[in-house]
Amino acid sequence: SVPAPAPATSAPAAAIAGGGCGATAGSGEGVRVGVLTVSDAISRGDMENKSLVVAKEQVQLLFAGKRTPVFTDGTCSQDAPAIDVILKSWCDTLRLDLVLTIGGTAFGPRDIVPECTSAVLHRHAPSLVTAMLVKGLAATAMAPLSRQVAGVRNSTLVINLPGSPKAVAEALEAIARCVPHAISQLHPKQ
């Protein structure tokens, strides 16, 4: 097992090689956040993962002055079994507080993240998706083409984000006040 990452840093993406997850999340006062980028191009190394940087920056803003994010991140191709294994591992084994997925929410034949996420959720949170859609519509008429899903597995909040850095920022801004409160409801003793 890989040692817990330091606050506001990342466990290496290689920790989830082979579809499993060998990373461990931090504990204590930090909020444990997993960011999974689902992209064939990024997983092959053909493209820089700019959306991951934006997601981490936005999460740090969400919890500024409250709790320090402790990140676990990974990248995988648009492969349903790999996505399933990672989401379940991060929710059930690592028991992260928040899992964000980036990408794979459009209408392409390989865009399967919403279906994979729905399959592992115990409870859906459609109002979070609505808030992200409303914010997205203020920026682009194409916002409804992102098929995001949000919900809870055990005590982990799971949220799909679009793939572009701009859309990631807008989506997280839309739910900025809700996410810390939702996590406190899922973990009332923290």
Q: Which two tokens stand for residue 166?
A: 């701009």
Task: Tell me which H or E stretch contains 120.
Answer: helix 113-120
* Distance, C-alpha 47 to centroid of its chain: 19
Q: Find out whether 108 and 76 touch, Cβ atoms under 8 Å.
A: no
pLDDT at position 190 is 54
Query: Where would I find the beta strands (DSSP E) of the chain?
Result: 10-11, 31-38, 69-76, 98-102, 123-124, 150-153, 156-161
pTM of this structure: 0.85
Distance of alpha carbon 80 from alpha carbon 68, whole angstroms: 31
Q: What percent of the chain has pLDDT over 70?
A: 85
Q: Are the beta carbons of 147 and 111 closer than 8 angstroms? A: yes
Radius of gyration over every alpha carbon of the chain, rounded to an integer in angstroms? 15
pLDDT tens-digit profile of 125-172? 999 999 999 999 999 999 999 999 999 999 999 999 999 999 999 999
Given a contact cutoff of 8 angstroms between Cβ atoms, the answer to whether 5 and 30 are in contact is no
Identity of residue 47: M
C-beta separation of 68 from 29 below 8 A: yes
pLDDT number for residue 167: 96
Query: pLDDT category, 24, cuts 50, 70, 90?
Result: very low
Judged by DSSP in three states, 32 sits in strand
Compute the distance between CA of residue 47 and CA of residue 101 in angstroms, rounded to an integer: 17
> Does 182 have pLDDT greater than 90?
yes
For residues 143 and 175, the answer to whether their CB atoms sit within 8 Å is no
Give the pLDDT of residue 179.
97
Strands 156-161 and 150-153: antiparallel
Distance CA 96, CA 61 (A): 18
Q: What is the mean pLDDT of residues 80-99?
A: 97
Question: Binning pLDDT at 50, 70 and 90, where does residue 18 land?
Answer: very low
Partnered with residue 74 across adjacent β-strands are: 36
CA atoms within 13 A of residue 6's CA, in its CB half-sphere: 1
Q: Which amino acid is at 180?
A: P
